Structure 1
Amino acid sequence: MSPATRTRTVLGGVTGRPTRHAVPWALGAGVIGVQIAFPLTGGGTPTLTVLAVALFACASVAHALFTRGPGAAAGLVLVAGGGGLLAESVGLATGLPFGEYRYTGSLGHAVLGVPVVVPAAWTMMAYPSLIVGRRLTAALRPRHARLATTVLGAWALATWDVFLDPQMVEAGHWYWLEPTPTLPGVPGIPVSNFAGWLLVSLLMIAALDRVLPDAQAGDDRLPLTLWVWTFLSSTMAAAVFFGRPSVALVGGVLMGLVGVPLLVVLRRRGVSP
């Protein structure tokens, strides 16, 4: 084996995947590294927040590109990024569907009043949530799987915000004009926000499920790993580092309704996320 061939084999992995597939994994490793720094900085700085979202969004788009093709990557950006921007801009202007809130300007450049990092956050998490929904419904018949994928994928996406919103509000990135009635166990965050997230997530995952092909021969361990990491690390961070035990309980239970079955399915199939 020539040195060049040996190098490609090592970088591509024992399965012989192209070297380019190392790019999403490198980005994913960066996500975890940056997020580990959040507790060390008292919940993260604006720079860390933007960096974590940028790396995660790039990892999702790169994975879609290398496993599903350029059309899938473009579709992900259009549906999740564009859809997230649309939902947020409508929310700012009308209070629907999340409730009335305002950004403080701490997250950098904005489009239509929405920081650019926000639609990137929708993009970063919508993709692994779709893969989670598909993995949980893989054994169902196609006509049943599509609806189930939408529901479970949307739940996987919307419940993440139970952790996200309290952290971002406490960090001063946005605030609620009327935070009551609150989601039980999540003080300061209106229940309308979760309802709005769930509605937008249902529409977004349903659209993504039609735009992004299911890569039967592809390796979806990266998006699964990032979703599981988000679930487990968010629960631990809220309980241990950020002093929000009720958020850890509520978020852990809600996200765990998808996360625990996912871990069981992956274990039974011998897949390590």
Structure 2
Amino acid sequence: MTNRLVWYGLGLLILAQICYPLTGGGARAAVTVTTVVLGFLLSVGHAALTRGVRTAGALVLVTTGGGLLVEGLGVATGWPFGDYTYSGALGPKIAGVPWVIPLAWTWMAWPAWLAAVRLVHRRAARIVVAGVGLAAWDVFLDPQMVAEGYWTWSDPSPSLPGVSSVPLGNYAGWLVVALLMMALLSTRRGTSKGPDAPMYALYLWTYFSSILAHAAFLGLPASAAWGALAMGLVALPLAASLVHVKTMPWVRA
């Protein structure tokens, strides 16, 4: 039953994401908020059902609470992501940050962590892999959200070739924060009481659908390519482990 509920939740999330390129303006902003809320509930729900309420609470405290803290710091000081501001398109703000933004950190932090748990054994290695797995998602996320006008940087340079709207320092900031979050999450020792396959599917769906959406529907071919490279560092070994490909010796099948 637990497995079925999580799969249903993933299906609902995918349906919401499919609506994104089919909408525009206020409707697209509403789809964005809905998608983030669904992703948050899916990850927290899976954590609670498979690892217990304490682990789910720790996930929310570290990633949602930590996400709000670091985003508020970023808006107020320009550190660690650069000097940026949010528009009002995503709804009410807390300390200058739309309320939905911290939920997005939680949404992808949990599947990134579980991917690392599957791929590597040692705690330090898991922290690094999970941190990269979370931070790499932003190579898709930020160009897409800036293109919609949800937030902007005052000086987005230097930047990745073809992605002039997002400064390189932002990605470095994401990596630092993601590593800190994963280090905190790694202190939880919950034993799995259910399958993690839905979270693997969530991570891989995010990877492959983001490449397709950026390249074919959103007019962002450069971020499609850079995101494919960055998030592929975790997504491709994860996919290989799921199909038992043995050509990558660092992959834990």
TM-score by length of 2: 0.92
Alignment of 1:85-234 (within 5 A): 85-137=68-120, 140=121, 145-211=122-188, 213-215=190-192, 218-234=194-210
1: CA distance between counterparts of 2:31 and 2:133? 24
Given candidates 22, 26, 29, the residue that maps to 2:8 is 26
Given candidates 43, 56, 61, the residue that maps to 1:60 is 43
Partner of residue 259, structure 1: 235
Identity %: 46
Is the Cα–Cα contact under 8 Å of residues 135 and 171 in structure 2 kept in the other structure? Answer: yes
Is the Cα–Cα contact under 8 Å of residues 52 and 190 in structure 2 kept in the other structure? Answer: no
2: CA distance between counterparts of 1:107 and 1:156? 25
2: CA distance between counterparts of 1:250 and 1:209? 28
Output the amino acid matched with 1:78. Answer: L
Is the Cα–Cα contact under 8 Å of residues 35 and 52 in structure 1 kept in the other structure? Answer: yes
2: CA distance between counterparts of 1:20 and 1:258? 26
1: CA distance between counterparts of 2:232 and 2:14? 20
Describe the shift of the 1:131–1:181 C-alpha distance in structure 2 as closer, same or farther (beyond 3 A): same
Moved over 6 A (4+): none
Output the amino acid matched with 2:91. Answer: G
SS of 1:260 mapped into structure 2: helix
SS of 1:218 mapped into structure 2: coil
Is the Cα–Cα contact under 8 Å of residues 65 and 73 in structure 1 kept in the other structure? Answer: yes
2: CA distance between counterparts of 1:212 and 1:240? 41
CA distances 1:58-80 after superposition (whole Å, capped 9, x unpaired): 00011001101110111111111
Unpaired stretches in structure 2, ≥5 consecutive residues? 246-253
Q: Count how many residue pairs are aligned between Structure 1 and Structure 2.
A: 244
TM-score by length of 1: 0.86
CA distances 1:163-188 after superposition (whole Å, capped 9, x unpaired): 11111111111111111111233221
CA distances 1:40-72 after superposition (whole Å, capped 9, x unpaired): 125971100000000010000110011011101
CA distances 1:62-110 after superposition (whole Å, capped 9, x unpaired): 1001101110111111111001011101101110000000011111122
Question: Is the aligned partner of 1:245 residue 2:228?
Answer: no
Describe the shift of the 1:199–1:31 C-alpha distance in structure 2 as closer, same or farther (beyond 3 A): same
2: CA distance between counterparts of 1:228 and 1:31? 13
SS of 1:159 mapped into structure 2: helix
RMSD: 1.5
Given candidates 40, 62, 67, the residue that maps to 1:84 is 67
